[in-house]
A and B are shown apart, each in its own frame.
Chain A
Amino acid sequence: MAAEITAPPYRVIPIIPSIKPGAMEGLKPFVASDKIQEALGFPGELVEDWEERAIAKMGELLKKYRSLKVYLDACVHCGACSDKCHYFIGTQDPKNMPVARQDLLRSVYRRYFTIPGKLFPKLVGARDLTREVLDEWYSYYHQCSECRRCSVFCPYGIDTAEVTMAAREILDSVGYGQKYANEIIGKVHKIGNNLGLPGPALTDTLEGLEEDVKEDTGIDIRFPLDVKGAEVLLITPSADFFAEPHIDSLVGYAKVFHAAGISWTLSSKASEGGNFGLFIGSYDQLRQIALRIREAALELGVKRIVVGECGHAWRVAYSFWNTLTGIGDGADPNDRFAIQLQKQLDQRYKQPSHICEVTWDLIQKQAITLDPEANDHYVVTFHDSCNVARASRMGDMPGGQFEIPRNIIRAAANKFVDMNEATIMEKTFCCGGGGGLLTDDLMDLRVKGALPRMEALKEVVEKDGVNFMAAICAICKTQFTKVLPYYGFNMRMIGGVHQLVSNAIRLGDK
């Protein structure tokens, strides 16, 4: 008998959105006030000679970052990136195609820095820097979350995020900064974290948390603050102290350290993992913010530095902390404090480590035990956060940053499914709120930018009954809490990987 003939299953046909020119034109997040700007050493308001200064700044950046020049020169407008951006997909504004967004800056670069652009601007698409162009930069470079999904598809490997960062750096240098990001950076310097949570409030919050966890589990789980001589310094986003569902992951980290018998501490000086210096493209700010962590580590005498669930913090920690601060290899030999810290840290451990690396290592060594039945009410999926997925790694193998969080979830829960493979791992979609855009004045953009992730989620909700999406980033968690209801989902569907660990970990009698 002949084999039964069946039609192949339907494929999911990628839908390339039609174009709506000008759909997001004029969108403008609040501009930073003079007070906010000046606290960071930027001009308080748009300077009179902004054109001259912007071009000078661009020249400075082109000299400083060879990569920027390469990215501005190399693009051949092949269009491979055009439909890969969540903001283009969600807004249909053609200027949100990564190639077109970059061209807003590239056209000005051509005019002032290339010979054909200087001689025949019209022929090569070169533009003068006018006030309209400057406003367009402000608008569209705040419609990019620097997630770098487009770069995965670029045959030249152009890092679009670097172009966005350069544009924002130029804007800051002429007094045209964004309120949300710059106000937050000011708070880090003044108070120690993005939230502006002062030491006494942090102490009060952590004490309350100890009471709550004791009530829940009957066990004294500590949330230590500023403990000298602790083995581990945990650097985590301040949202973990403040917001839901973030705080449930903080409880998870504490339970892991408790169960494994590792002494640990938080720091009131470095009570923030986030580093918005990255978002505004300022190396200076990036370094200043990172140095607080070194100061805290030296003061507390810790042996290990572990980073909590924060996407861009892990990018900064993994990729830049070594040269910025001496955490990891590669510190400047003339930087006394960096060298001191390298000697202080226990080099048998990866410095820094991600909390997921710590937890997975302990699970494998059977130093902690998880009961996955505790999460049987969940069917779990995992949202890869952009900065972890595309700008870092975990463990010792390529793709560890994808595998390790999934391994932990599988150990903590019996039911796990992945979303469509075109939307996960290195091809993951941004949550829609990254890169300094997690602010109410950009809510329309945030809701639209979440579309592709929501589509992929809907698919597994319908097919597999998914009711929990885990993430390892404070921004992702907040963004989804806000946008899930717009797409008909419960805001409580989003949570942390260590929230699942917290539910499943065996405490006391192992």
Chain B
Amino acid sequence: MGAPALLLFLSFYLYPALQNLQFATRRWDGISEPENVGFRNFTNLLTNDDLFYKTLGNNIEFTFLVVVFQTALALLFAVYLVKNTKTTIALRTLYFFPTILSSVSVGMIWLFLYDPNFGALNLFFNGIGLPSFALNWLGSESSALYAIAFTQVWFHTGQMMVVYIAGLQQIPKELYEAAEVDGASRWKQFTKVTWPMAMPTTLVVMAYTTIQSFRAFDLIMVMTASTAGPNNSTSIFSTLVYFTLFNELRLGYAAAQTIFMVLTLILITWLQRIAFGKRYEK
């Protein structure tokens, strides 16, 4: 009964994934005869491509920022809203709301908020007498990636908060009661009970957020006008692959780039497990 699903998965996931390995050893514009170049795409990427290193750096920085801030905020709001009352449920519903929007819509909303001339953000900073904070957020090399990272966190914090709330509600109440009897402060209760008990959830949230951050493609396409930002400052792997494929018509080179994308993703997830996972795994 699993046969139809398996057939699709083999034809359009596993087979392409293997074919991708083969593509990566070719020089090919997708039309003329492909030329076999061995590992030259890989060596070129590693030794002769500044954009590749810039993208790698951007992607790691972007993922790091999004994972740290989104996980921290999601946990904070989960702690604040863990009890089921009318107010907390209403706030959860509101915080979760951006998740149901499309990334294109979210990108357009923030495109306006960040707009240097008309944007509400600069209107706000000028209004409270801090005009030096009114920047060309998406148009300048130093802030574009951070502006998009902030939007990504805005987009999905509510979703991860709900995941955390489900995790926190599993923690036995007796642990908190015992801690209170011992006179532990709220902060102590958090570090000694909540944080370690929520560790399995934290790992799930971080892994999910990591994969999600690699998919920020849509946001970047909308917010930096189908480019990789000023001077490629918002180039991450998915945009790099897309532009290599469509603008430069270098299929083999794009295929080699996706392999590095996967390796980076696996490496980051693995590092998270080492940093947080080991001590708490069953």
Query: Is B truly associated with A?
Result: no
